[in-house]
Structure 1
């Protein structure tokens, strides 16, 4: 596994959900804060995203994608909406359940949206995910992010045509969309530590090694040899960029990976201990309790509740 895949897998739970919405005229919908990540893709037309915190409106056009990785509450409104739109906003969920009729389709200013959510477990957020901004806007520009554009096109077709196998294809494409949105954010020259971390050849190689085989008997010397630099060079560059020494990061990742396995599998604790590099279940339990303030058994039971 690579760092980005692991960072997503550590927090993502369950299946993503999505709805295709078509509306026109004057409209505004409120999306409440959500314990996960939200996204919108404009398939046709244009609209505005208004932040509840009073930030500048975001103008969205056809092909634009927006990721709200921290579940920030916001408004979606027609392209001519202003700050007063919030006064007429209706809850987005009431559009979906039919309790509030959508504005009649007039053919004027018609917009089609793909809106959805990813369920996330925020107890063990990887720092790469934590430093994503409140709103990631990925405008549709010619020649930019071709993989993201392809995923958006495929999603639009699957949702529009209801073809056989869509129940498998759509969740898989939504997962792919999340990966491509995060990749695109990093490729946009995003500010933050982790684009720089993964752009540094020494630190990136060290992280790939640790994530590929967290159970290996890693030491600073062994990791430096794997990367092909001296131990002081590795320690200096890794600590400066990641914010902690290599072995401290490895311990944190082993326990985070163990929590993911406890949540997502029925493997016995002894099996999980071996997979994450602990010699005995007792050793894992002790370290897990120190990191998360609970035992592996209680953590698994709470995750299943």
Structure 2
């Protein structure tokens, strides 16, 4: 052992491979794993996750309750059903879901949702609750924002009946660097039983948040890294969930995952089927059958799905004209874009923009 240590001290990493060697043999346990890990598409996508801020928050809702929530274009959220259960309602065509103790839910940016008890009472806007219960307590006596106060957001609302307890982490992304996996989230990702399965890990994260908050030492790098770890595990598990969204279903198949990663990275590219076949490293018929089996649509339809999802974001998040969005979405004319968009979601681009403006 002493000889090995002396050899490593004298020789260091091999210059040709960047790996430690002893008597010509690579000592894998001391080499950088990035040098020999397989280049799986899912691993590549998970490495692209980048948050610029993360804030824990808590809610205790008692029946009857109903809260209408919409986060901004740079904001998405992880919810943990900590106690009890509720109904999660979404805009069409997304089906409502029962969110029960032990479940985890990841919601993408701009995903409007209503959190209600089974009686479906009228919903209060989350901004009204925050203005009353949270905003007045986020500043010092001098009127300066305090991060430690922000880390202890607690919303209490309802009629005093059955309790639904919610733990959450509100996450913020820079759209330019958020990574394909985050920017490509097509809808809610519900992981049944995830919180029960990873109970010790979740508790450790929220306990760490609390330790730093009480000690007035919480910094965003700490919150961000803790949250990215949780998000990475959640999204990786989502890839193998049979009831997950099209993007995540496909990530369980390496060939399909390579295509998904490429399309998410460059949705505006003029993709031909042969381009996707080359990326998948399988023949055309195999790609079509495997893509349809795991994603539920053909590779061509998936390209359209991703492209029009991005177009929908531009309609709601930017002031670009519909003609400009059509061009950026790789459609030859505004008329062709309008037809494709309406076939995709049942609404015209103009109707989506008008509805977004009305909500704003």
TM-score, normalising length from structure 1?
A: 0.56
* Equivalent residue, structure 2, for 1:233: 286
* Equivalent residue, structure 1, for 2:335: 282
Say whether the 8 Å CA contact 1:18–1:117 is kept in structure 2: yes
CA distance in 2, matches of 1:264, 1:243: 28
Q: How does 1:53-202 map to 2 (within 5 A)?
A: 58=101, 66-67=104-105, 73=116, 115-116=167-168, 129=187, 132-133=190-191, 136-140=194-198, 152=206, 155-157=209-211, 159-162=213-216, 176=228, 179-180=231-232, 182-183=234-235, 185-186=237-238, 190-192=241-243, 197-202=250-255
Q: CA deviation at 1:186?
A: 3.4
Say whether the 8 Å CA contact 1:51–1:73 is kept in structure 2: no
CA distance in 1, matches of 2:186, 2:262: 17
Q: CA deviation at 1:224?
A: 0.5
CA distance in 1, matches of 2:222, 2:64: 26
* Equivalent residue, structure 2, for 1:49: 83
What CA deviation, in whole Å up to 9, does each residue of 1:56-87 have, x standing for no partner?
A: x85x7xxxx84486866569xxxxxxxxxxxx
Q: How does 1:285-296 map to 2 (within 5 A)?
A: 285-296=338-349
* Equivalent residue, structure 2, for 1:222: 275
Say whether the 8 Å CA contact 2:78–2:105 is kept in structure 1: yes
CA distance in 1, matches of 2:64, 2:230: 19
RMSD across aligned positions (CA)? 5.0
Q: Which has the larger radius of gyration?
A: 2
Q: Report SS of the residue matched to 2:57.
A: strand
Say whether the 8 Å CA contact 1:158–1:169 is kept in structure 2: no
Q: Report SS of the residue matched to 2:167.
A: strand
* Equivalent residue, structure 1, for 2:25: none
Q: Report SS of the residue matched to 1:137.
A: helix
CA distance in 2, matches of 1:128, 1:293: 16
Q: CA deviation at 1:205?
A: 0.8
Q: CA deviation at 1:258?
A: 0.5
CA distance in 2, matches of 1:35, 1:118: 16
Unaligned runs of 5+ in 1: 9-14, 22-26, 42-47, 76-92, 103-112, 120-125
Cα distance change of structure 1 residues 253 and 33 upon mapping to structure 2, 3 Å threshold: farther
CA distance in 2, matches of 1:201, 1:292: 29
Q: How does 1:206-285 map to 2 (within 5 A)?
A: 206-285=259-338
Say whether the 8 Å CA contact 2:341–2:349 is kept in structure 1: yes
Q: Aligned residue pairs: how many?
A: 240
CA distance in 1, matches of 2:320, 2:222: 28
CA distance in 2, matches of 1:99, 1:237: 47
Say whether the 8 Å CA contact 2:311–2:329 is kept in structure 1: yes
Q: Report SS of the residue matched to 1:266.
A: coil
Q: CA deviation at 1:128?
A: 6.9
Cα distance change of structure 1 residues 176 and 35 upon mapping to structure 2, 3 Å threshold: farther
Cα distance change of structure 1 residues 222 and 140 upon mapping to structure 2, 3 Å threshold: closer
Q: Report SS of the residue matched to 1:263.
A: helix
Unaligned runs of 5+ in 2: 1-40, 70-76, 88-97, 108-112, 119-128, 134-153, 172-183
CA distance in 1, matches of 2:115, 2:193: 8
CA distance in 1, matches of 2:311, 2:207: 36
Q: CA deviation at 1:156?
A: 3.4
CA distance in 1, matches of 2:279, 2:206: 39
CA distance in 2, matches of 1:49, 1:243: 34
Q: CA deviation at 1:232?
A: 0.6
CA distance in 1, matches of 2:244, 2:168: 28
